[in-house]
Amino acid sequence: MTFIWNILTCLLVISTEIYGHNSLLNHRMKRQTKFEFEDCGSKNRLIKFLDVFLKPTPVLAPGNISVSYLFNVTETLPETILINVYIYKYITWVPILVPCLPVGNAYFGSCTYNDICDSLDQTFDPCNCPDALVRHNLPCTCPLTKGEYALPSITMAIPEIKGSSLAKLILGEYEIKAQVIDFKSKKEIGCLKLKGVEIKRKQKCKGWFCRRRRSIRDAFKLQQK
């Protein structure tokens, strides 16, 4: 389940190319889903989320997922920040809160991530930020100053989900909410909600066309050796 943690954490921290309001086909006996985002923050929030991009929608396993986002900071953020994450999985049209569960060295589910600035300080050297952040004028440590920020597309690989029990647990539709809190003043400074985040099993290609495509691909690989 580690890969699910990677996907959802990236979405929640809101770390592309297709805008996320692509609706899926509606079926009479199936809930209609589409990926969309909502800035659920208060009127005086310091962080305003402008856009979230997700490709593909729905998310396919196995496959790749790309996520990026655009947000505005109205004034320099405090360095006393925590993030409350709430993940709901829809089971027969009913949203069920996913509890916070340890998965390896990380956590998956509805968790609180305390003292984000301290975590960044322990992870990054402010004098040697990753090139991907520097190119987009993004700091790797606090404070985050006033301005508009665009996080570049982050792509992650999703492995195949094997076994019917694991598939029932992971595949389906999710709703995700992330609240950014100043834990000193107890005030909410930003809020983002993602709806219609659906994970589906990728259908295997079958038939004459697929066999022909595989043979051409294999022949090409032999020529490259």
The Cα angle at residue 120 between residues 114 and 122, in degrees rounded to 5: 100
Residue pair 68/153 in contact by the 8 Å Cβ criterion: yes
| CB contact at 8 A, 72 and 50 | yes
Q: Which residues contact 56 (CB under 8 A, 6 or more apart)?
A: 18, 63, 65
**What does the pLDDT read at residue 207?**
64
Taking a C-beta distance cutoff of 8 angstroms, is the pair 47, 72 a contact?
yes
Distance CA 74, CA 91 (A): 38
Residue 34 pairs in a beta bridge with 23
68 and 10 Cβ atoms separated by less than 8 Å: no
Tell me the mean pLDDT per 10 residues along the chain, length 225: 40 31 30 76 94 86 85 96 95 90 78 94 90 85 93 78 76 92 96 90 69 65 63
**Token digits for 39?**
């800035």
Residue written as tokens 């792509």? 155
In the block, residue with structure tokens 């490259």: 224
Radius of gyration, CA atoms only, the chain: 20
Residue among 106, 114, 119, 132 nearest 3 (CA): 106
The pLDDT, as a whole number, for residue 157 is: 79
DSSP state at residue 172: E
Burial bucket for residue 197 (CB in 10 Å: 0-12, 13-18, 19+)? buried
Of 106, 105, 83, 108, nearest to 97 by C-alpha is 108
